Amino acid sequence: SLERQCSAFFRADEHLSSMRLRSMHEVLEHLDPICPGMSASRAARASGILLRLLLNYGVALRAVRWPRASHAVHRNGVRALVFAEVGYLFLMLLVILRRLAPASSATSLALPSSAVWSNAAAAVGALRPLASYSQLSYIPRIKRLVPGMWRSILAAVARWRSAATDTPMSVRVLRFAASWLRVLAFTTVELTVFSLGLLSLHVKLDEVRAASPGRLALFGRRPWWLAFLNVCLGWLPFLGFANQITGIVDQEDLRVEAVLRTLFVRDSKEITRSEVEAVHEFNGVLLRELCCRHGALHGAAMYLSLTSTDYRRLVVARDNLNDEGALPCAPGSDMDPRGTR
């Protein structure tokens, strides 16, 4: 029977049944034990994100100043690609500053608007992917091409089959053609974006080859400090390229997103608007409390340093732990010290 089968999984069942989700009041009560202050590890994570952000903007501006291409036509294409990347970086920076402006004036209020802090939390969280953003991040989108095409084809077939029998054939054919146009548009966009990522990779490799630190390391008759500065600037493209390569897929961002989707998204295939607003409101409350308890700058830095483990510790409670921090054993089970095997 099912009950007899479940009895064989006592340890797993005990662990699962001991978990529950805390309310927002309990989350705020456990915020200080989990985030007591700006520790060395949190300061290192936050400062690392900010340093990578400055490095990414420096590399982008350097690429604008020295575009590399062998022919004029290629040079114009490279320049357009570089300006598109730089334009996105600075546009996102303006959006972040615009979202942070209302929250900076609301820190003195006792109960500021939740929408203000939700926007501020989204702005602070956007610094993490922006610190290593490049058009190289378009390359992994090739993985979603075939699954996306298959879902679009199935949706088109489902619309054709679900059409009412009394619907005129011309209308059904037009709807079916529109569905296949969506499939074609999706495929074209994904392939175009993937091609831009490959072209960006080619351009960045050319920049790295052209910026050889060996040629900049020649001291000659120049002052030593100027030669040292040239050597450091020569390594800038290498460090920037490594930073952008590591940012193609940010594992920690994926883990945080997975935890938040597990907590707030129901068993639906697509996330709803109310669920997105719940996630934004939750992050806004965390940012507001951290800023109120530790100051605006320290609070924003601590929010920037939150990891998926911190989110799990804040929200998931374990109620059935004993004094040693372990779950109680079933009487007579293999792990019960009083029982026998």
Using 50, 70 and 90 to split pLDDT, how confident is the model at 44? very high
Task: Tell me the C-alpha distance between 48 and 243, whole Å.
Answer: 11
**pLDDT (tens digit, 9 = 90+) per residue, 152-200?**
888 878 777 776 566 677 777 787 788 888 889 989 999 999 999 998 8
Query: Which pLDDT does position 286 carry in this prediction?
Result: 92
Rg (CA), the chain: 27
- Asked which of 76-80, 117-121, 264-268, 337-341 is least confident by mean pLDDT, the reply is 337-341
Whether 218 shows a pLDDT value over 70: the answer reads no
Whether 327 shows a pLDDT value over 70: the answer reads no
- pTM of structure: 0.75
